[in-house]
Structure 1
Amino acid sequence: MPKRPEPDWSIPVGVEAPKLHLYNSLTRKKELFVPQGQVVTWYSCGPTVYDDSHMGHARSYVSFDILRRVMQDYFGYPVHYVMNITDIDDKIIKRARTKYLIKQYNDSQVPMEQVYHDIAAAMEQHNAIIATTTDPDKRKMFIDEVQKVKAAADAVKAASVLQNSAEASIKQEQLLCSAASVLGEWLDRQKGKDVSDNSIFAELPRHYEEEFIKDMKALNVLPADVVTRVSEYVPQIVEYVKKIIDNGYAYESNGSVYFDVGKFDAEPNHYYAKLVPEAYGNQEALEEGEGALSANAAQEKRSPNDFALWKASKPGEPAWPSPWGPGRPGWHIECSAMASEIFGESLDIHTGGVDLKFPHHDNELAQAEAHYNNDHWVRYFLHTGHLHIDGCKMSKSLKNFITIKKALEANSAAHLRIAFLLHAWKDTLDYSSNTMEGARQFYKMLSEFKLNIQDLIRRTGYTSTTWSSEEVTLQSAFDNCRIDVHKALCDSIDTKTTLDRTRDLITEANKYMNNNVKVNSQLLLNISDYIGKLMNMFGVPLGDSSTCEGQGSEKLIAVAEVVGNIREQLRQWSRDKEMNVQELQKQLLGLCDGIRDDMLPPLGVRLEDREGGAPSIKLVDAAALMQEIQTKKDQEESRRQEKTKKKAEQMAKEPRETPKDPKDMYRTPEYSQWDASGIPTHDKDGKEITKSQSKKLSKLMEAQRKKFEKWQAQHQS
């Protein structure tokens, strides 16, 4: 079959095409997007790799992947996409150092008596930390850690009392595992300053960077064109800082370098905190941005608003050479320097999560503009909204912290992506069971529509001759959908409205198919192709709706094996001369059900019986189909168990008296003789029973027989 041309995105002739506008955080409004050159330059703040990536990361990187795909594939912009990896950071240093010390401690095989003593000291130190912690979430997390260690210690003592050495040994291992965080903090205070080898601090971020890349691949996020790691750009960062000092906007203090916010803000062509002016002077946010290992920075800075460009390394921290002594880059400077290294003095788009606006992105802007002495380092700043879990901010202390890996155990990547598509990228998204159920239902609607069109083409072929008022109405709905989708995508890439209009179009197409025996399959195929291409652009591939052939040689061989096995079974039955017609019919019907319910589903083939016609054959995701079948079986089993329960409850309410066996019901003194079935032939005086009496007794026995058999069936099931 000749391949049909790809459906284009063009809207009907005569309709004025809107142009792409993006919501710009710098101006807090939607602005016409005008790139500076022929290629869109785009820098995205990447992750700080010290732990598994979580759903907050998914919120940002999947959303930006959608925006990137739309700009490239729909609007046709060539995009040069750069993302950084933060592999030098206070959190990384602390985590890597602690992990290294814990490993050393475990490898040294410290006697258990000493372990108990050290854990007790660690818990005492941890309790002191709790007493000075004001953040309620952190306080709760610390308390939970202490309680977990205490429970593990109690379990060891209990096992030791029982003199079960094997169990005690297992409990001791569990205690060391549970106490890792508390004991690690204690070891870090004792020996952290002695850890100085840079390679020790490189292993942890490299591991979590690899895990992050795997997570992004699992979410179908396109890889960046360029990935920049801080550890690989330290010399460039040093030069960048020197230029800022030379321009008069930074100063050295005790081996560190700080950005002079007051000096920068006093210049007529500069102002600080462009993104969030109302946060200017927010010391809590500024201190958090400086990092947990920068406790002494306040004494070194000229103003509390100043922030570190370069940090003098203390004992227990990695260090690189610089004109100001051994040190490491500050958090904010890395993005300014690395983005500038790739794109120069100005870039089109800079993206990141909303929580990075202040101070991180505001500091980035100030540094770059101080370096280049300009006021346009970024043209469009795009920020994704927060991600909440069941209405609450994600937090480990609240037990609602969800990693991407965990989320993918419960949802497919397509379902997660649709959940994001159904919400505006800059708004808060609530990740909940309701959100995901809505995404699953939307995906099912898309898939079923594509499968129905495939099945229609398979059964009827391509037809384009039918064109009446029904086709005119559907074509009009199709045209209006394309117009509305274009408007929505131009409106700061409004994917929610886009999917709403797609749903409306599918509804109209389904009505058309249900209300007409003869349909224009080409029109339906055009709609299916358009929707399929739209979803593929969003990163939710539905497969090639232009064909309903198999999905490669492996599936073809698997289907052929099923056919071969069925054929062999039929041949065996045909040779069985002892099988009667009724038995053969029963076996054939069982085989038909087995083909539909057992043989084809693992291959991703759904067979649906249709009254008076050939069955519908649909190629679907095998895992999803098997899950659907299992869910149906579970529901049927649940109904069966409920029925059995109700039956048992009903029987419990009924009298427990056992009905009399019909063959013994007349074995009483009222009669003296009986026939072989137990029907009396003579009364107690030896007088013969009349025919009418015998007939009446037989009817009563038959009724008793039915009652007795029913009772037996109930009590034997």
Structure 2
Amino acid sequence: MPKAVVQERPDPKWSPPVGVESSKLHLYNSLTRRKELFVPQGNVVTWYSCGPTVYDDSHMGHARSYVSFDILRRVIQDYFGYPVNYVMNVTDIDDKIIKRARTRYLVQEYEKTLTSMEQLYEDVAAAMEHHNTVIATTTDPDKRKMLMDEVLKVKSVVDSLRDCVKTNKSSGEVSEKQKELLVISSSVLGEWLDRQKGKDVTDNSIFSDLPRHYEDEFNKDMEALNVLPADTVTRVSEYVPQIVDYVKKIIDNGYAYESGGSVYFDVGKFDSEPNHYYAKLVPEAYGNREALEEGEGALSTVNAQEKRSPNDFALWKASKPGEPAWPSPWGQGRPGWHIECSAMASAILGESMDIHSGGVDLKFPHHDNELAQSEAYYDNDHWVRYFLHTGHLHIDGCKMSKSLKNFITIKKALEETSASHLRIAFLLHSWKDTLDYSSNTMEGARQFHKMVSEFNLNIQDLLRRSGCTSEVWTSSEVKLQEVYDNARTGVHKALCDNIDTRTSLDIIRNMISEANKYMNNNTKVNSQLLVNINSYVSKIMTMFGAPIGDQSTSGNQSSDQIIAVAEVLGKVREQLRQYSKDQSLDANGLQRQLLGLCDSIRDELLPPLGVRLEDRDDGATSIKLVNADELMQEIKTKKEQELAKKQEKEKKKAEQAAKQANKETMKDPVDMFRTPEYSQWDANGIPTHDKDGTEITKSQTKKLTKQMEAQKKKYEKWLAQQQQS
């Protein structure tokens, strides 16, 4: 038998599809003011985020930045798969902290030594006089208004306290008013006391206790907002030796100088070098005196001769009486504001990092100063590869400002809405653009959350009723699969495009809308396809940090929940037993009782347990496990809306009745009885025969005459009113 000839086969060759290019992550880089391809320097993305200055409660401006960066961080590491080393600082040495700590301490000490009401009146009056001198020199109209509002509030409480004393109110009421005055006037009184005694405050613990307290509060707020903790947290107070060494090297490199116990960065020298230039982020702000002075801090009192140029900024500040101090080669002092981030970021991440982030208000001078001093330290021009800045937060269209005290604290915001709703509000806007925090913004977030949650509950209910089925595909399934595929492609492109969460959520909204149409238009549905869509939505929302559904109800129920449901079942069973024993109930009565019990189970017994029952068109019942608090709030809102609707209906009914009564009043009495009820009338319009031609009796005539006389009086009164008007 001849041997088979084995033909050689060519090696299979592969080539990518023509004209197809995979999307890659691009980020808007404030350094270049355009979107750049994201290329990390190493296997781990190094990221430094400017943290809070902890001297007061965190506000919605903080939420805007830290929730937005939390979303970016989650997408970069959980969607694009980059490991991230996230470092955040806490500023616990700062002019604002020193001033706030001093004034709070002095007001507390003042309260302890307060001896009489007259002393309080006199001291508040003196404090107000000092406050008025500050107002007179304030040119910013918004700040001036804020200061004047403080004066009016203090005056109002002073007047109220005087009234209490004059009218011999109880000592308890007077004491409460006195406490109120101390609280309201604390800012004004604190400034006055600080001017007199601030330099005598020497206990360093006063300056550390305040930031520790507010750092703890900040961490609680971030946890409540589901913000991931930083991998490393650095505090200025713990890095003072490293900061001193950092400043020394900048001096050695020729870019800083000592003057009067302080150290200043030489902007002119740095800017004159061919490989360096100052104000990379905001070159148009170069020389902005107001911004530079604000960056130096409220306690800065530098003599003009101390600096070589007004553009120079402090790396190290000589401490004055009443300020905390640390040893340095230049004398007792403390770090400048900007140097802390350069020294601490360098200590953890080295001479170059991938990402540096912060609010847009930090661009100049803070981040520009960071760049300059860090590049002077390393003598490089790549200390930061990508600078990310979140946009401003406005409150109902007005810029929020802590210095103007028109801010909303995170705690207050979370009393009015949920953390998920807040996060979705941020997701529905670009992270780098201005966001307006308003009722309309939050309503949009609530509606999106409700839509996604209801879709998730509907799919869970579908699985409970029919299990996971895969029907033979029709054109409906093919169309929905195409919608699903396009949505995943669209979300990927949106996330690659500067992590565009707004477009991503729009795509998800449209996909859910199509899935709902599919369920409504088909008696048999492919539940596996719907489960795939729901799983994808849940995955994306969880990745964004806004998981959908009550997580406590997604798996096995706790024993407490099972017992609670069993107790409801026991109550219903006992009620049914009572009905069966009640001999007074006939069939109709028993039916009413049973239907009432059914409504009670749905509306009263199960909602507090987070169980929502919904009647379906096919006669079956949908069971949805939801957050109990949200369900009770939903029921409360629905009842309030129904009550408002009922009241509006009654109001319209009353208005209609009044309108009809007024119409009757306007009717000429001669014509009031000319209706189909009667067939003949006398000269005065009084009926003489009814519609059948039967003569009206004397008693009826008498009654009708009285009615006409009454109408005549109303009519004449109405005519007189019309003539007057």
TM-score using structure 1 length: 0.87
Report how far residue 270 of structure 1 moved. 0.9
Partner secondary structure for residue 324 of structure 1: coil
* Residue correspondence of structure 1 range 207-356 to structure 2 within 5 A: 207-356=213-362
Residues 14 and 451 from structure 1, CA distance in 2 versus in 1: closer, same or farther, beyond 3 angstroms?
A: farther
Query: Partners in 2 of 1:15 and 1:548 — Cα distance?
Result: 40
Report how far residue 72 of structure 1 moved. 0.7
Tell me the equivalent position of 1:144. 149
Report how far residue 642 of structure 1 moved. 3.3
Contact kept, 8 Å, 1:152 with 1:175, in 2: the verdict is yes
Tell me the equivalent position of 2:594. 588
**1:624-648 Cα shifts (integer Å, max 9, x gaps):** 1111111111122223333444455
Partner secondary structure for residue 331 of structure 1: coil
Residues 442 and 190 from structure 1, CA distance in 2 versus in 1: closer, same or farther, beyond 3 angstroms?
A: same
Q: Give the length in aligned residue pairs.
A: 647
* Residue correspondence of structure 1 range 380-395 to structure 2 within 5 A: 380-395=386-401
Query: Partners in 2 of 1:532 and 1:304 — Cα distance?
Result: 54
Tell me the equivalent position of 2:118. 113
Tell me the equivalent position of 2:96. 91
Tell me the equivalent position of 2:530. 524
> Percent identical across equivalent pairs?
77
Unaligned runs of 5+ in 1: 1-11, 657-696, 701-717
Q: Please tell me the residue identity of whatever aligns with 2:231.
A: D
Matched, 1:464 2:464: no
Query: Partners in 1 of 2:236 and 2:552 — Cα distance?
Result: 46
Residues 306 and 546 from structure 1, CA distance in 2 versus in 1: closer, same or farther, beyond 3 angstroms?
A: closer
Q: Please tell me the residue identity of whatever aligns with 1:22.
A: L
**1:313-335 Cα shifts (integer Å, max 9, x gaps):** 00010101111111000000000
Contact kept, 8 Å, 1:290 with 1:330, in 2: the verdict is yes
Tell me the equivalent position of 1:19. 24
Partner secondary structure for residue 338 of structure 2: helix
Residues 606 and 305 from structure 1, CA distance in 2 versus in 1: closer, same or farther, beyond 3 angstroms?
A: same
The structure 2 residue matched to 1:188, chosen from 194, 199, 207, is: 194
Residues 644 and 492 from structure 1, CA distance in 2 versus in 1: closer, same or farther, beyond 3 angstroms?
A: closer
Tell me the equivalent position of 1:450. 456
Query: Partners in 1 of 2:413 and 2:472 — Cα distance?
Result: 47
**1:502-550 Cα shifts (integer Å, max 9, x gaps):** 1111111111111111111101100100010000000010149999665
Supply the RMSD in Å over aligned alpha carbons: 2.1
Worse-superposed segment, 453-462 or 588-597: 453-462
Report how far residue 192 of structure 1 moved. 0.4
Query: Partners in 1 of 2:362 and 2:518 — Cα distance?
Result: 49
The structure 2 residue matched to 1:564, chosen from 570, 574, 579, is: 570
Query: Partners in 1 of 2:565 and 2:617 — Cα distance?
Result: 24
Q: Please tell me the residue identity of whatever aligns with 1:518.
A: K
Contact kept, 8 Å, 1:274 with 1:362, in 2: the verdict is yes
**1:246-269 Cα shifts (integer Å, max 9, x gaps):** 111100011100000111111111
Query: Partners in 1 of 2:140 and 2:501 — Cα distance?
Result: 37
Residues 282 and 435 from structure 1, CA distance in 2 versus in 1: closer, same or farther, beyond 3 angstroms?
A: same
Tell me the equivalent position of 1:708. none
Matched, 1:78 2:66: no
Worse-superposed segment, 646-655 or 120-129: 646-655
Worse-superposed segment, 410-419 or 564-573: 564-573
Report how far residue 399 of structure 1 moved. 6.9
Query: Partners in 2 of 1:399 and 1:478 — Cα distance?
Result: 47
Tell me the equivalent position of 2:174. 168
Query: Partners in 2 of 1:550 and 1:616 — Cα distance?
Result: 19
Residues 640 and 240 from structure 1, CA distance in 2 versus in 1: closer, same or farther, beyond 3 angstroms?
A: same
Tell me the equivalent position of 2:494. 488
Contact kept, 8 Å, 1:215 with 1:405, in 2: the verdict is yes
Query: Partners in 2 of 1:445 and 1:179 — Cα distance?
Result: 47
Q: Please tell me the residue identity of whatever aligns with 1:624.
A: E
Residues 52 and 229 from structure 1, CA distance in 2 versus in 1: closer, same or farther, beyond 3 angstroms?
A: same
**1:386-422 Cα shifts (integer Å, max 9, x gaps):** 1111111114687742111111111111111111111
**1:479-500 Cα shifts (integer Å, max 9, x gaps):** 1111111111111111111111
Tell me the equivalent position of 2:13. none
Residues 547 and 257 from structure 1, CA distance in 2 versus in 1: closer, same or farther, beyond 3 angstroms?
A: closer
Tell me the equivalent position of 1:366. 372
Tell me the equivalent position of 1:666. none
Query: Partners in 2 of 1:638 and 1:490 — Cα distance?
Result: 47
Q: Please tell me the residue identity of whatever aligns with 2:416.
A: A
**1:122-151 Cα shifts (integer Å, max 9, x gaps):** 111111111111111111111111111111
Report how far residue 236 of structure 1 moved. 0.7
Partner secondary structure for residue 627 of structure 1: helix
Worse-superposed segment, 548-557 or 376-385: 548-557
Contact kept, 8 Å, 1:137 with 1:397, in 2: the verdict is no
Contact kept, 8 Å, 2:468 with 2:528, in 1: the verdict is yes
Residues 548 and 541 from structure 1, CA distance in 2 versus in 1: closer, same or farther, beyond 3 angstroms?
A: closer
Contact kept, 8 Å, 2:78 with 2:543, in 1: the verdict is yes
Residues 152 and 373 from structure 1, CA distance in 2 versus in 1: closer, same or farther, beyond 3 angstroms?
A: same
Report how far residue 378 of structure 1 moved. 0.5
**1:24-73 Cα shifts (integer Å, max 9, x gaps):** 11111111111111111000000111111111111100000000000111
Contact kept, 8 Å, 2:114 with 2:120, in 1: the verdict is no
Query: Partners in 2 of 1:611 and 1:31 — Cα distance?
Result: 53
**1:448-490 Cα shifts (integer Å, max 9, x gaps):** 1111111111112111132111111111111111111111111
Matched, 1:63 2:68: yes
Query: Partners in 2 of 1:486 and 1:654 — Cα distance?
Result: 63
Residues 314 and 548 from structure 1, CA distance in 2 versus in 1: closer, same or farther, beyond 3 angstroms?
A: closer
**1:110-131 Cα shifts (integer Å, max 9, x gaps):** 3222221111111111111111
Contact kept, 8 Å, 2:553 with 2:626, in 1: the verdict is no
Matched, 1:204 2:204: no
Q: Please tell me the residue identity of whatever aligns with 1:278.
A: E
Query: Partners in 2 of 1:457 and 1:151 — Cα distance?
Result: 63
Contact kept, 8 Å, 1:454 with 1:545, in 2: the verdict is no
The structure 2 residue matched to 1:512, chosen from 514, 518, 522, is: 518
Residues 24 and 46 from structure 1, CA distance in 2 versus in 1: closer, same or farther, beyond 3 angstroms?
A: same
Residues 102 and 142 from structure 1, CA distance in 2 versus in 1: closer, same or farther, beyond 3 angstroms?
A: same
Report how far residue 199 of structure 1 moved. 0.7
Contact kept, 8 Å, 2:264 with 2:314, in 1: the verdict is yes
Tell me the equivalent position of 1:130. 135
Tell me the equivalent position of 2:540. 534
Report how far residue 551 of structure 1 moved. 3.9
Q: Please tell me the residue identity of whatever aligns with 1:380.
A: Y
Residues 472 and 648 from structure 1, CA distance in 2 versus in 1: closer, same or farther, beyond 3 angstroms?
A: closer
Contact kept, 8 Å, 2:295 with 2:365, in 1: the verdict is yes
